[in-house]
Amino acid sequence: MVCPKCGSNHVNTQTVTDTEVTEKTKGFGCIKACIGFLIFNVWGILCGLCGMGKGKRTTRTKSKVVNVCQDCGNRF
């Protein structure tokens, strides 16, 4: 393999992995609060707080191959 920038044959191939972590948390549940209000009056509004703060965590990983010239440092 030849570097397109300098024409050198000293090229290494590397695998680069990018990891992205996202986290979604739940907030106040309006529907739970309305149903709680209908059943338990004012104290039922606190039912909207049930499950608050719990969330889902997702991880996304991407891998790609990068060639690096050892003479000029060009990545392609």
Over 70: is that where the pLDDT of 75 sits?
Answer: yes
Report pLDDT digits (tens) over 6-55: 999 999 999 989 899 888 877 767 777 788 788 888 777 777 777 676 77
Residue 75 located in a structural domain: no
Q: Residue count of the chain, please give it.
A: 76
| Chain Cα centroid distance, residue 50 | 26
Residue 4 located in a structural domain: no
Residue 61 located in a structural domain: yes
Residue 76 located in a structural domain: no
In angstroms, the CA 16 to CA 62 distance is 8
More confident residue, 63 or 24: 63
The residue range of the domain holding 46 is 11-69
E-strand stretches of 1-76:
11-25, 55-69
Whole-model pTM: value is 0.47
Split into its structural domains, the chain has a count of: 1
Taking residue 36's Cβ as centre, other Cβ atoms within 10 Å add up to: 20
Which pLDDT band, with edges at 50, 70 and 90, does 70 fall under?
Answer: very high
Residue 5 located in a structural domain: no
Reading the block at residue 12, the tokens are: 């290494």
